[in-house]
Structure 1
Amino acid sequence: MRVLVIGGSAFLGRAIVQEALDRGHEVTTFNRGRSAPDLPGVEAVHGDREVTADLERLVDGRTWDLVVDSSGYVPKVVGDAVRLLSGRAATYAFISTISAFKNFPAEQTSEDSPLWDCAPDAGPDAGDYGVLKAGCERAVEQGFAGNALIIQPGLILGPYENVARLPWWLNRISKGGKVLAPGDPAQPMQLIDARDIAVFTLDQAEKGVADRFVVTGPEGNTTYGEWLEMCKRETGSDAEFVWVADDFLIEHEAGVWMELPLWAPAQPDMANFWTVSTAKAEAAGLRSRSVADTVRDTWEWLRHIPEDERVFGKKHAHGIAPEKEQAILAAWAARSA
């Protein structure tokens, strides 16, 4: 199978490229050549998807069986690529997000849940990440003359993660000492490895499926406490977790999600963050490896990177500053005393 991956050098896109190569497919990547090197074995075409001439150069003389768009964020930009690729591939797989659903995470979510309102030709100012992704989905479904495969991932982890959620925790825990652990250690989570999304996406594309799937891990496949203990075990750390209540963290202005990655406090608007239905994807063949395997493999990748180079998520940096962490821990200890 001939596969084009738009993006393809970082995190999920990289996992999709690697899986396609492992299956013996011919892979072309199209990206700006800035995020990370392209994997050996691909035909790398460098260009900017927002530049029409670059897209035209990409499609000149080429056709594919499958296009995987792992780097589409603006409906108009996605639509421009869709129009040029329509008729040059059988399937267009678009990597969207569970955040495209209007009522997530306040309400339980499945493929039938309503999407945000966003036009398929909207520009970057039409809304935030989830809103724009909903418009991108419409651009694919309405503009591509072939199979439209919409993949809507939940929380993605794994090696080469460039968002710095799991990498930040691994890096912080590896340093040891008292570690601020947010909320309830028994809080169930629902995590999926990028490599499992890659397998599922290619499985569906190879079968010619045109559909949409919410793709995340099984509900409750770990808890927050178990997850952090996995990080401690893999790093060989002597870290001591100090579990601090949600209300105290909010009172002390700890940043939800960003400063303490994956911390979703028990509030009504977050009530169903970790209770997403994966029944449809599982019936279609989705399988998820253990979270422990993901943590192990991510640390195996991360530990070979010099500590001063473990900087990810440049646009929206994750992780609490050491001085703020220590201040909250000191305040918590004083209250407990």
Structure 2
Amino acid sequence: MPATRRAFALSTLAAAALGASATAQPKVKPMRILILGGTGFIGPHQVRHALSRGHKVTVFNRGRRPDDFPPEVEELVGDRNTSDLKALEGKTWDVCIDNPTTLPFWVRDAAKVLKGNVGHYLFVSTMSVYATQDRPGEDETAPTAAYAGADAFAERGPAKPELYGPLKAVSETEARSQFGAGATTIVRPGLIVGPGDETDRFTYWPVRLARGGEVLAPGDGSDPILYVDARDLAEWTIRLVEQRTAGTFNAIGPARPLTTKGLLDGVAKGVGAKPTYVWAPADWLAEKNVNGWSDLPVWLPGQGRTAGFHRRSNAAAINAGLTLRPLETTAADTLAWWKTLPEERRAKPRTGLSPERETALLAERRAKA
């Protein structure tokens, strides 16, 4: 079977790699779980964990990957872009997990079919819903971004980047309106990382540090970092629906403050590397058109308009049972997954500095020293 993100997530390797979230969990009555999507980053991990808990799982998607799931998973085919939800009609589930929705009309259309036929609805949103990212320590009560167009429900995808947060915020409101606040869970992840991440936003660091040598590192090492392993997020969503936990939660970790240096040190330990860091101030990186999140991923400046991005409170999620495996485990597993990918894929990372550009920047930093 080809080594894909779904194959990996459903494999015994992924199951064996569980960290803090693998602690013993009480048995629960088996449920019928509907997962809208299921073929993306967190969906396969949700499917695997739900099956391990004894639940019956149905996934609803466009049917483009019919061999991704084991036989016991029911796969219904439709297309939310065209409001084709016929496959969901006349069926009931205990809970619904909505993974891929960005556009509010997807929530509205799903509710037309599912309202009254599911007992609980969990919507995977995003930390990008917040109106601003410059205030450290804000929790889930912080203001969300307002949609400025004429009709959010008239928007069709893919959404423009600047509308991503506002449309997710409208989708959250629609979810509570349709399914009721007491039967709705809103999960707002930050950066989702780990095996199966096709964006390479975190993968850059395990791969880069494992390569060794001098490493261009952003800032001075003291900027804060938040992230969540896709497996921890996926398993927690299953626990939330098992417990019918309603509310809104920032799904981010770690449980204790982490700095950029702490991130790089943890990744290095996980992949068995001993790098030499060359720290570059944020203003110097800006002068060189080196961007956080894309060129030097995960990191964003801990000052100015992004001062609060990596400083949001995750207390509510931790209190609601979010458990987080060690950074070293996430790094090691991510590198192991990366090595299973075809050579042509690994030759073209989707995020991060190219070796050539990093070498040139390192030379400039040394000349400046």
Higher relative contact order (CA 8 A, sep 6+): 2
In structure 2, do the counterparts of structure 1 residues 235 and 288 end up closer, same or farther at CA, with 3 Å as the change threshold?
closer
- Count of aligned residue pairs for this structure pair: 331
CA distance in 2, matches of 1:46, 1:289: 34
C-alpha distance after superposition, 1:82-104 (max 9, x if no partner): 22211221111000011111123
C-alpha distance after superposition, 1:270-308 (max 9, x if no partner): 112222112222222222222222212222222222342
Q: Is the 8 A contact 1:261 1:318 kept in 2?
A: yes
Letter in structure 2 aligned against 1:138: T
**Residue in 2 aligned with 1:232?**
268
Q: What is the TM-score with the length of structure 1 in the denominator?
A: 0.89
**Root-mean-square deviation (Å):** 2.5
Q: What is the TM-score with the length of structure 2 in the denominator?
A: 0.82
**Residue in 2 aligned with 1:29?**
59
**Residue in 2 aligned with 1:151?**
187
Question: Structure 2: any 5+ residue segments left out of the alignment?
Answer: 1-30
**Residue in 1 aligned with 2:5?**
none
Letter in structure 1 aligned against 2:99: S
What is the aligned counterpart of 1:9 among 39, 43, 52? 39
CA distance in 2, matches of 1:300, 1:91: 36
Q: Is the 8 A contact 1:106 1:268 kept in 2?
A: no
**Residue in 1 aligned with 2:177?**
142
Question: Structure 1: any 5+ residue segments left out of the alignment?
Answer: none
C-alpha distance after superposition, 1:126-148 (max 9, x if no partner): 85221111011112111236711
**Residue in 2 aligned with 1:335?**
368
Letter in structure 2 aligned against 1:328: L
In structure 2, do the counterparts of structure 1 residues 218 and 167 end up closer, same or farther at CA, with 3 Å as the change threshold?
closer
Q: Determine if the alignment matches structure 1 residue 265 to structure 2 residue 301.
A: yes
CA distance in 1, matches of 2:177, 2:229: 30
In structure 2, do the counterparts of structure 1 residues 165 and 61 end up closer, same or farther at CA, with 3 Å as the change threshold?
same
C-alpha distance after superposition, 1:45-97 (max 9, x if no partner): 233221223x11x2134211111011001112232122221122111100001
What is the CA-CA distance between 1:246 and the residue it aligns to?
Answer: 1.3
CA distance in 2, matches of 1:289, 1:209: 22
**Residue in 1 aligned with 2:354?**
321
What is the CA-CA distance between 1:311 and the residue it aligns to?
Answer: 7.6
Q: Is the 8 A contact 1:197 1:215 kept in 2?
A: yes
Letter in structure 1 aligned against 2:53: R
CA distance in 1, matches of 2:82, 2:198: 25
Letter in structure 2 aligned against 1:196: D
**Residue in 2 aligned with 1:42?**
73
**Residue in 2 aligned with 1:128?**
163
Percent identity, aligned pairs only? 37
Q: Is the 8 A contact 1:9 1:36 kept in 2?
A: no
**Residue in 2 aligned with 1:86?**
115
Q: Determine if the alignment matches structure 1 residue 213 to structure 2 residue 272.
A: no
CA distance in 2, matches of 1:36, 1:175: 36
1:100-115 to structure 2, matched below 5 A, reads 100-115=129-144
**Residue in 2 aligned with 1:52?**
83
In structure 2, do the counterparts of structure 1 residues 100 and 312 end up closer, same or farther at CA, with 3 Å as the change threshold?
farther
Letter in structure 1 aligned against 2:363: A
Q: Secondary structure at the match of 2:188?
A: strand
Q: Secondary structure at the match of 2:311?
A: coil
In structure 2, do the counterparts of structure 1 residues 36 and 112 end up closer, same or farther at CA, with 3 Å as the change threshold?
farther
Q: Secondary structure at the match of 2:117?
A: coil
Letter in structure 1 aligned against 2:362: L
Q: Is the 8 A contact 1:219 1:276 kept in 2?
A: no
What is the CA-CA distance between 1:263 and the residue it aligns to?
Answer: 1.9
CA distance in 2, matches of 1:8, 1:166: 21
Q: Secondary structure at the match of 2:93?
A: coil
